[in-house]
Structure 1
Amino acid sequence: MKECFRGLLSADAFIKQLWDIYDTVRKEGPAQEVSVVITRNDFMMEYTEEGDIKQDCKHVEINTIAAGGGGRVSNMVDVHRYSLSLQDIPFEKEQLPDNKPVAGLAQGLVKAWQLYKCKCAVILFVVGIPEPNTPDQRWLESGILCIDGSIKVIYRTFPQLIKQMSLGKNRELIVDGAEVAVVYYRYGYEPKHYPTDAEFQLRLDMERSRAIKCPTVAIHLAGCKKIQQALAESGVLERFIQDTDRIKEIRSSFVGLYRLDTKDSSKVITQALQAPEKFVLKPQREGGGSNLFGDDLRNYLEEIKESPERSAWILMDRIQATRHRNRLIRAGLGSECRNVVSELGIFGFHISTPTSELENIECGYLIRTKPEEANEGGLCKGLSCLDTPFLV
């Protein structure tokens, strides 16, 4: 990661602060070896040729912090089965397959809690105010209680934790008198979440603690677009995977990802300035809403093309997603039938130590459908709708 972030750390103050937290704890020696990550790996379908019926699955990004939607989507299959029944549309139950990611994600957090080996410890959900994802998080809490009703889940914001959190003599993470086994971040992935140095100090203290983090700051950093771009470079996957057929399959899902901080970057920058509709300009951010498209891409890239600030961004080929017809039901708009595109997110959880992989589970999916002209696909921003596949 240090090699990948060369140039980035001087151009992106937020990533530099997170890197300093990682580097500090790495040098001190972590108090907790178990690491947990809940991921959502996002894909879109793209025609291989214009007018061809064959489609390829293309990788958008992987989310390694606050990967949302698993709670909400776990009941959408029942909603859509009911909707079809109301319209007397015949279908077999298997045509709308069951999809319960919340059960698998809850299993991951419970497994982490068990590895902490303290039955009186709690699971801490770090959230924001206002918190648009409350229903999603409550479904996940419900999934935890279905597995083990003795586990207590608490919710705290950064301002609350700054006042209530402390470290015990063995670096236990204590919040309002309760020992924390697992910290589950649904907040802390954007610069605006850290308005002062106190929030960065809080994140450092939490990282120093014995609590199991979901994710650690290292895995948070591994979700940066720079890492995604580096993994797509020739010869990199071979460092981690020996199966050549598997490497070929994975690489076939990649689209072009380009660094902007090398001597060879001028060619792709020129291409993007001439045809911005073919590219997306991405910073190292989670949470959506930060990418640049079209004229915004051209104008900003023109502004930074000679500046060190370009190191904080990557260019990505824009996926020409397969269009189809569907009805979108959105607040204030009613039902509208229109051309849409869909994005598939695969949920999973991974638990490991520095020397062993303990769990690596895929546990359901999220389909978001949005108007074909929409650039971003955020659920909470009202840009897309939860969807269900209808198998034919």
Structure 2
Amino acid sequence: MAETVIKHDGRDYTEDQLYYLTNGIKDYQIVHGSHLKGVQFETASSVPSRPAGASMLPTLFPRSSFQEACELQQAFNELYMRVASDPEWLYSTLEPLMDHDDLFTTLWEICAKVRDAGVVQHTVCAIFRSDYMLHQTPNDEEVSLKQVEMNTFSCAGACHADRIAAMHHHLAKVKAPEASPNMGLSKNTKVIVNLLKAAYETYEAAATSGRANCVLMTVQPFNFNIADERPIDVVYHRAGYEIEEYDEPGKETRLRLEMSRAIKCPDILTHLTGFKSVQQALTQSGAVERCLPPDKAAMVRRTFMPMQILDTTIPGLEARKTALDPKRAANYVLKPNLEGGGHNIYRSNIAGFLSSRPREEWHKYVLVRLIEPPPSTGTIMMPEALYHGAVVSELGVLGTCLWQRRSRAGSEVEIKQNKIAGWTFKTKPMGIDEMSVVKGYGVFDCPLLVD
């Protein structure tokens, strides 16, 4: 009898089974382009690539939590459409960053120039992704769903998620039928393309020039993640979220795009809603309720973790005390205002980091209570080796939005499209804080839904 190497979801896997699975995964990724481009080693005639990190077997995830995240997405879509249509509230929320956060200052200067010149396109298009993790403290009997962050600009991973789901369904048929992910395929790419099509048709219906129209995608040069972008190819931004991109030509290009009649995906106001200061402001009493009816607001608010900007308000000063005390900071993460993951400082490292920064820069950071995921077991293919053991997963749900602003002040909008696109699912070994797959900290995965 073949010797069991690992157990997963109560099933035994032998060395031969794992061998066939790993080879099937590697071959599938080559055939379907689930690779990252090695741009730093590119030559005039060739470029190497490596497979994106992938799970060998789908990872267990509660069906009820998955369904809750999907049901929440349209409410989060509506919330951020309304927030992105209220420039006065946005500015009052982000104004403390002026002159201290170069990216915000640059983006707001572009905003001001567009406003002064007169906005010529009031229809906005956006792809949002709300990321969640499971949370369970030692005192909790039940697991709850908590939001990590809301991504409003250049949401990545959609195409990779489609491939990984299709891969697990394929492998379940031919190599490990007992390891079926037990759910439908993700349809991110199709729904995102349909959103861009809807924006294109909206623009075309209003166009009067008679010239040919197109969809323009802005991308970074020397980009290693083309496999997540090319399947989707309005102005659709997959670049413009790093301050280094805003030299003088970069500023001029973004300003020209924003002042054009093109429907932006997203426009610069929606870009600003991705700052952590906005996420923190929405946790304050009444902030969500001003945009959503009570039932939707309550659903959204249940997913929030406590967070506080390190400003000089009374709550901010108390948060500074917590951050500077390694023992009190053991359950916290310090996040910069940048959208997306990375750049975070964890637990006892927070005090030393802050001590190395000028105090006037501290309000650029948000202190967030760490999510405490319950233990789970997974089998994943890290870039260096196969890993089987305790893991943490992050579920992202994507939404597609198309709306028209109705007034310069307030959050009055006409919602033309508010849909759930699909999902992304990433897993990392327990003990690793970051979740970036492209940086090698985790893998793209598929949830195995359990009751």
TM-score by length of 2: 0.73
| Residues 1:299 and 2:359 are matched in the alignment | no
Answer yes or no: is 1:99 the counterpart of 2:182. Answer: no
Q: How far apart in 1 are the matches of 2:342 and 2:287?
A: 29
Matches within 5 A, 1:1-392: 1-50=90-139, 52=141, 54-90=142-178, 95-117=182-204, 120-141=212-233, 182-194=234-246, 196-243=247-294, 245-264=295-314, 265-274=316-325, 275-304=328-357, 307-333=359-385, 335-355=386-406, 356-392=414-450
Structure 1 contact 190–287 (Cα < 8 Å) conserved: no
Counterpart of 2:106 in structure 1: which amino acid? Q
C-alpha separation between the residues in 2 aligned to 1:130 and 1:380? 14
Partner AA of 1:27 in structure 2: D
- C-alpha contact 1:96 1:388 (8 A) present in aligned 2: no
Q: Secondary structure at the match of 2:189?
A: helix
Instruction: Read off the aligned partner of 1:391 and give its amino acid letter.
Output: L
- RMSD between aligned residues: 1.9
Once the 2 structures are TM-superposed, how far is the Cα of residue 51 of structure 1 from its aligned partner?
7.2
Deviation of 1:18 (Å): 0.4
Q: CA deviation at 1:368?
A: 0.6
Change (3 A) 1:45 1:201: same
**Which amino acid is 1:101 matched to?**
N
Structure 2, unaligned runs of 5 or more:
1-89, 407-413
Hey, what's the Cα distance between the residues in 2 that align with 1:200 and 1:88?
52
Determine which structure has greater relative contact order: mean sequence separation of CA pairs < 8 Å that are 6+ residues apart, divided by chain length. 2
Tell me, yes or no, if the aligned pair for 2:276 and 2:339 is still in contact at 8 Å.
no
Listed as ranges, the gaps of 5+ residues in structure 1 are 142-181
| Aligned amino acid, residue 2 of structure 1 | Y
User: What is the rounded CA distance, in whole Å, between the counterparts of 1:277 and 1:106 in structure 2?
Assistant: 43
For 2:347, the aligned partner's letter is G
* Distance apart, 1:77 and its partner CA: 1.9
Task: Give, in whole Å, the separation in 2 of the partners of 1:229 and 1:298.
Answer: 21
- Asked if the contact 2:309–2:364 (Cα under 8 Å) also holds between the matched residues in 1, the reply is no
Alignment identity in percent?
Answer: 29
Cα 1:29–1:251 shift into 2, 3 Å: same
Shift in Å, 1:50: 4.6
For the 8 Å contact 1:126–1:183, the answer to whether it is kept is yes
Deviation string, structure 1 residues 259-287 (Cα, Å, up to 9, x no partner): 21133122222122223331111112124
Structure 2 CA distance for aligned equivalents of residues 91 and 17 of structure 1:
49
CA distance in 2, matches of 1:357, 1:258: 31
Normalising by structure 1, we get a TM-score of 0.84
User: Residues 329, 92 of structure 1: CA spacing in aligned structure 2 closer, same or farther, 3 A cutoff?
Assistant: closer
SS state at 1:268 partner: helix
Cα distance in 1 for residues equivalent to 2:188 and 2:139: 34
Are the aligned partners of 2:157 and 2:424 in contact in 1 as well (CA < 8 Å)? yes
- Secondary structure of the equivalent of 1:140? coil
The CA deviation at 1:89 is 4.1
> Is the 2:172–2:180 Cα contact (8 Å) retained in structure 1?
no
Measure, in 1, the Cα distance between the counterparts of 2:107 and 2:375.
38
Alpha-carbon distance in 2 for matches of 1:323, 1:11: 40
The 1:270/1:232 distance shift into structure 2, 3 A limit, reads same
3-state SS of the aligned residue for 1:130? coil
Q: Which amino acid aligns with 1:340?
A: V
Q: Within 1, Cα distance between the matches of 2:313 and 2:219?
A: 42
Q: Is the 8 A contact 2:381 2:387 kept in 1?
A: yes
Assess, with a 3 A threshold, how the Cα gap between structure 1 residues 198 and 272 changes in structure 2: closer, same or farther: same
Task: State whether residues 111 and 268 of structure 2, in contact with CA within 8 Å, keep that contact through their aligned partners in structure 1.
Answer: yes
- Quickly say closer, same or farther: Cα 1:96–1:242, change in 2 above 3 A: closer
Residue 91 (structure 1) shift: 5.7
Question: What CA distance in whole angstroms lies between the structure 2 residues aligned with 1:96 and 1:132?
Answer: 30
Residues of 1 paired with 2:276 and 2:426: CA distance? Answer: 21
